[in-house]
Amino acid sequence: MWNAFSSFVLKEFKHILRDKRTLIIMTGMPVVLMLIFGYAVRTDFQEARFALWDQAQDQQSHTLIEQMSASGYFQQVANIRQKEEMEQLFRQGKIKVALVIPPSFGEDLQKGIPTQLQLISDGTEPNTATTLLYYLQGVVLNYQKRLSEELLGPLPPPPINIKQRMVYNPELKSTFMFVPGVITVVLMLISAMLTSLSIAKEKEKRTIELLLISPLPPWVIIVGKVLPYILLSFLNGLIIIAMGILIFGMPMHGNWIFLVLSFLLFIMTALSLGILISTKVSNQQTALFASLLGLMLPTVLLSGYIFPIESMPTPLQVISNLTPAKWFIIIIKGIMLKGIGITYLLKPILILVLMTFAFLLISWKNFKMHLS
């Protein structure tokens, strides 16, 4: 029995190792994803291209523009004199914002009359529009403060001083969001998607029947099939964690054993989901699309790793509770970033355990029906 089992596992391993391309991608995927998220995907804005319509052309407006460019957030790409030019630049996608300085800008400032700048932004990108507005407000506030200081000398400290403390992430690194996210996506991909595909392949090629009439009981076959994927997933998870800690400065405040155990738990959940899918489908293509729609989309979108769950409409917030990824991300963040123990994470852990059992139970029923 043990002999048959180990040779079955060995056979599965050989299948995986023979397929060099998939193997390369499987190990390359987490590395590439980490590098993209770490270096290429940013949410902080730099050098937004803007057009300037300076109707004042005086010393004050020049100083303001200098300060805008010096802030690093804005980069002037055009000087315009009429509205049509501005419209065209927007339509060509060449600018994100346009700033209009009124003719009496410097004069008003000197006389102490309130003056008005006009910012026109590209509303088709709401995030960018609001961020740039904040940046400009910051630049203008600084400018005003300097003007006042020129008039009155150094200002006394404000009555209320605000001290900000960024807990868990003092340097505001984006690493803390994407490392848990990448781990979940990759583990999901390997554990659930590849398992479902590999079982669906046996079904499509009808080799599953050969396996089922072999002396091994069905559950041994399933375990033998998924064991290599467990190891692969685990290895990948470790690669990502190592990269996160060594390259991107992800802290590890919690317990390593606890972390490893929760990895295994999530891998089990994902695997049981993969098995569930494979019992439902009859060929690889269907398995693929079922995984894409049923697994990857929710994992990426509803787990709160790119978009905040709180901002979603209520029905989607409810659905997000059904994605294992959401709970796993809570666990990883809790262990690594907050260093909290099992007492605070009991709820997500129990949910994952329950999900795993539920998936396995449903697949067990499906599986039996198939054989009869």
Partner 1 sequence: MRSILFFVRKELLQIFRNKAMLPLLFVMPIIQLLILSHVATNEVKNLKLGVSDLSHGILSQRLINKMTCSGYFAIPEKTGSGLPRAAQLENRDQIHLALDADQVDLVILIPEDFEQNLRTGTPTEIQLLVNAINSMKAGVATTYASAIISDYQGSLQREGIIPTKEELLQISRPRINIRYNHWFNPELDYKTFMVPGILALLVSMLTLLLGAMNVVREREIGTIEQIEVSPVKTPVFIVGKLLPLLIIGLVELSIGLLIAKFLFKTPMEGPLLLLYTFASLTIIAMLSLGLMISNITDTQQQAMFVAWFFMIIFVLMSGLFTPIESMPHWAQKLTYINPIAQLVSIVRLNLLKGSDWTDVGPYFRLILRLDVIYGLLAMAMFKKRSK
Assess 119 for contact with partner 1 (CB under 8 A): yes
CB of 88 to partner 1, least distance (A): 7
Q: Which of 55, 289, 322, 354 binds partner 1 (CB under 8 A)?
A: 289
Name the strand (E) or helix (H) holding 267: helix 256-280
Judged by beta carbon, residue 65 or residue 109, the one nearer partner 1 is: 109
CA dist 281 and 195 (Å) reads 13
One residue of 117, 242, 247, 322 binding partner 1 per CB under 8 A = 117
In order of 112, 190, 229, the CA distances from 234 in angstroms are 66, 10, 8
**Greatest distance between any 2 Cα atoms in the chain:** 96
Q: Which residues contact 318 (CB under 8 A, 6 or more apart)?
A: none
Q: Which is nearer to partner 1, 207 or 283 (CB)?
A: 283
286 sits near partner 1 (criterion: CB under 8 A): yes
Stretch that binds partner 1, among 115-123, 214-222, 224-232, 351-359 (CB under 8 A): 115-123
* Closest by CA position to 64, among listed 153, 137, 130, 154: 137
Q: Considering only residues 136-165, where is the footprint of partner 1 by CB under 8 A?
A: 136-137, 140, 143-144, 147-148, 151-152, 155-165
> Is the Cα dihedral 299, 302, 303, 305 positive or negative?
positive
The sign of the CA dihedral 212, 218, 223, 229 is positive
Estimate to the nearest angstrom the gap between the alpha carbon of 259 and the chain centroid: 20
The CB-of-186 to partner 1 minimum distance in angstroms stands at 10
Burial (CB count <10 Å: 0-12, 13-18, 19+), residue 167: exposed
Which of 12, 34, 37, 268 is the binder for partner 1 (CB under 8 A)?
Answer: 37
Q: Is 3 in the site for partner 1 (CB under 8 A)?
A: no
Q: Which one of 222-230, 272-280, 281-289, 357-365 is the stretch in contact with partner 1 (CB under 8 A)?
A: 281-289
Site string for partner 1, 158-197 (x = CB under 8 A): xxxxxxxxxxxxx-xxx-xx-----------x-------x
Does 110 help bind partner 1 (rule: CB under 8 A)? no
Residue 192: enclosing H or E segment and its boundaries? none
Site string for partner 1, 222-251 (x = CB under 8 A): ------------------------------
Distance (Å) of CA 111 to CA 54, 106, 114, 140:
20, 9, 9, 18
Rounded to 5 degrees, what angle do the CA atoms 326, 331, 334 make? 125
Q: How far apart are CA 335 and CA 263, in angstroms?
A: 11
Is the Cβ–Cβ distance between 161 and 243 less than 8 Å? Answer: no
- Residue among 156 and 215 whose Cβ is closer to partner 1: 156
Q: Which is nearer to partner 1, 197 or 221 (CB)?
A: 197
Q: By CB under 8 A, what part of segment 80-109 binds partner 1?
A: 88, 90-93, 96, 109
* Number of residues this chain uses to bind partner 1 (CB under 8 A): 108
Q: Of 4, 17, 19, 214, which lies in the binding site for partner 1, with binding defined by CB under 8 A?
A: 19
Q: Which residues pair with 51 in a beta bridge?
A: 78, 98
Query: 2 or 165: whose CB is closer to partner 1?
Result: 165
Q: Enter the tokens of residue 74.
A: 């804005």
Out of 1, 2, 3, 44, point to the residue binding partner 1 (CB under 8 A): 44
Q: To the nearest whole angstrom, how small is the minimum distance from the Cβ of residue 238 to partner 1? A: 20
The Cα–Cα gap between 192 and 325 comes to: 12
Contact status: 55 vs partner 1 (CB under 8 A): no
H/E element holding 75? strand 74-79
Residues 295-314 that bind partner 1 (CB under 8 A): 297, 301-302, 306-308, 310-313
CB 76 within 8 A of CB 65: yes
In the complex with partner 1, the residue whose CB is nearer, 1 or 40, is: 40
Element (H, E) at 105: helix 105-111
Considering only residues 325 to 344 of the shown chain, the ones binding partner 1 according to CB under 8 A are 330, 333-334, 337-338, 340, 344
Min CB(1)–partner 1 separation in Å: 30
